[in-house]
Chain A
Amino acid sequence: MTGGVEAVLFWGLGAVAVAAGIAVFRTDSMARATYALAASFVAVGAQVLFLHLDYVGVVVVLMMVMEMAVMAVYMVMFMGMNPALMPMSMVHSRRTSLGIALGAFLVLGGGALLVPWPSRRGAPALDLTASLGEAVMGSKMLVMLVVSPVLFSTIVAALVLALPRGRYDRLGDDLRRRPADDPQPGGAGR
């Protein structure tokens, strides 16, 4: 692919990503907002692929498509309305938010254009995914050793939060109530 075509494609994907991101907060239905966010993520994933990060790009696309599917289920579960038909506009501090967002864009975009970026140091490996795998299993293993308990804690914390009735509901604050206060009695010895 020549540099010109690549640049046009990259800018096109960027425009799609930003436009879809704006559509998330402009559209009148939660379902459309979810699909717009998925489109934005897929466009960014494709841009990441342009930057030769094959593994991360594919992971971002797959993860986000699945997450949007979960999010669509949440809309149906919690929004209490037909998520495809109900118009909505639930915002607060709209003008302040727009001002802050515009200011952030000007500062970040201005910084990106004005900072004298250094030239590239080092050369990419021939097989980037293989070099990532070697780093993760070798010199950067500590990073993954930290990330894995964080992810495990997240699973535990999310389950504890989402649990409808915990042991304190069943056994009282001192955990001594017998038999347990269950909505449906049953189990061994009860």
Chain B
Amino acid sequence: MTNKVAIIASNGGLFDAYKVFNIATAAAATDQEVSIFFTFEGLNFIHKEANGQLPMPDGKEHFAEGFKKANVPSIPELVTMAQEMGVKFIGCQMTMDVMGLEKEAFVDSIEVGGAVTFLEFAKDADVTLTF
């Protein structure tokens, strides 16, 4: 009864990151096979330096306190947790080339590929989400 969940992360804000990783870890905990394709600003989520300081949307900075109060895990923690649970990360090669980034700048054991790498996984996914 394993389902496949394919997620595209293409925006780089903190709220976007939570949407991506909450759904991804919840799906992995429910015995689903999950892959996330990180492209354009979404690549920041798995960038070792950037993912600890993702921006809040303009004017929403006051939510920082709410995040702390609700004891929400940090994005780097969620990244580690997702990987431990077998969520597969695919970094977009084209974006990395455009931004002049190497694979070493990202968290370990990501796969780097083009759109087709993701499409190959997503073609028979039961759930596909774009954030």
Chain B associates with chain A: no
**A-to-B contact residues, CB < 8 Å:** none
